[in-house]
Amino acid sequence: MVAKDQKTNHHLDPTEIGLRPGLEGVPVTQSAICDIDGVKGELRYRGYPIAELASHSSFLETTYLLIWGDLPSPQQLRDFEREVQMHRRVSFRVRDMMKCFPASGHPMDALQSSAASLGLFYSRRAIDDPQYVYDAVVRLIAKIPTMVAAFQLIRKGQDPIQPRDDLAYSANFLYMLTEREPDPLSARIFDKCLILHAEHSLNASTFSARVTASTLTDPYAVIASAVGTLAGPLHGGANEDVIKMLEDIGDPEQANSYLEKAIAKKQKIMGFGHREYKVKDPRASILQGLAEELFARFGKDEMYDVARTLEKQSERSLGKKGIYPNVDFYSGLVYRKLGIPRDLFTPVFAISRVAGWLAHWREQLGANRIFRPSQIYTGEKSRKWKQADDRLSPTSI
């Protein structure tokens, strides 16, 4: 398959372009949503520095900024917050479907299934209708947290509790998840975590979202595709593995020997490294501060000393390769202190990243060309049919 160069209509031979595993460094779209400077360690959403948004904004205000390109007026924000609050509830059919899921299943699989099921209820596909797009954004931002919290209660053998209209977005999620109203500090810190995880240019799950969006399918399928991609341990699933790693190390004194053994075995240190950042992920530094705020109020998590020691010890061996803590390294320590179960860390990442995925969905629709990259074929050129009796024993599968 030889691609066409759009301008010259010249057929591009893939071998001329050269293989780029993982599309490393290859621009496949133009975007105005998020800008990352991996050398300086800077991250901006629609031009606003992440630290300013984390300090001054709310997750729903940041969601509005990401999706529609500007910070909302006070009236626009009130309208958006009210719409989201009115659409938090999920059909009993979806809840009953979730009751058939095995309690031992991973919450990311439950989320991917229930997110996709929303497409059955809103089957009209009118992606060229701005009202349809607005309604889909509101429904997904509103219902994803409800579905994450619902599976948590269902797998404990309980009925999900309904959203509370008198609670703001983040407080309501923590209430539905833990069955108790969170204190204001916990709700504020959780909301900042959602801001920090909301968007990150063309990461793997956002790329999935854009590829799926480019076929003009419905937004629920786009989000289900992105959720499945985020679940992997090299991407959103790392936050869960970081806590497992810190617990395996157990004691700050053991951090260095753990690091040396892992590096000797060329084993990846979870929560470290990044395709873009060659310095510490700015989000990791902000999350560290949020963890320390929680520890000051509710008591320290001894795993934090293990994490800090591991970070310091890694400077010599990994720092020189540009491998530093990423967003997943400290986020789990914040979530643990907020009482969020470990296997819900990645679903919480998904609750936040729905904002970025939807921003990219809208942007893709605005200038769409279906994704269809090329390949360098390395298989057999042409073979003649063989009757079954003439075939050698199959190669091992």
Binding site for ligand SDX (CB under 6 A): 22, 200, 203, 234-236, 238, 266, 268-276, 318, 321, 323, 326-328
Q: Which one is catalytic: 274, 281, 301, 360?
A: 274
**Residue pair 248/8 in contact by the 8 Å Cβ criterion:** no
Q: Which is nearer to ligand SDX, 43 or 167 (CB)?
A: 43
CB of 381 to ligand SDX, least distance (A): 31
CB of 161 to ligand SDX, least distance (A): 30
Question: Could you tell me which of 101, 98, 80, 82 has the C-alpha nearest to residue 90?
Answer: 98
Residue type for 128, please?
D
Query: Residues near 386 by Cβ (< 8 Å), separated by ≥ 6?
Result: none
DSSP symbols for 314-381: HHHHTGGGT--B-THHHHHHHHHHTT--GGGHHHHHHHHHHHHHHHHHHHHHHT-----------S-S
Exposure string over 359-375, b if 16+ CB within 10 A, otherwise e: bbbbbbbeeeeeeeeee
Q: Which is nearer to ligand SDX, 83 or 276 (CB)?
A: 276
CB of 379 to ligand SDX, least distance (A): 25
Q: CA–CA separation, 358 vs 127, rounded Å?
A: 12
CB of 327 to ligand SDX, least distance (A): 5
Q: Which is nearer to ligand SDX, 113 or 352 (CB)?
A: 352
360 catalytic per annotation: no
CB of 50 to ligand SDX, least distance (A): 11
274 catalytic per annotation: yes
Q: Which is nearer to ligand SDX, 24 or 389 (CB)?
A: 24
**How remote is the C-alpha of 321 from its chain's centroid?**
25
CB-nearest residue to ligand SDX: 273
Q: Which is nearer to ligand SDX, 171 or 310 (CB)?
A: 310
Q: Which one is catalytic: 191, 218, 241, 328?
A: 328
Catalytic residues: 274, 328
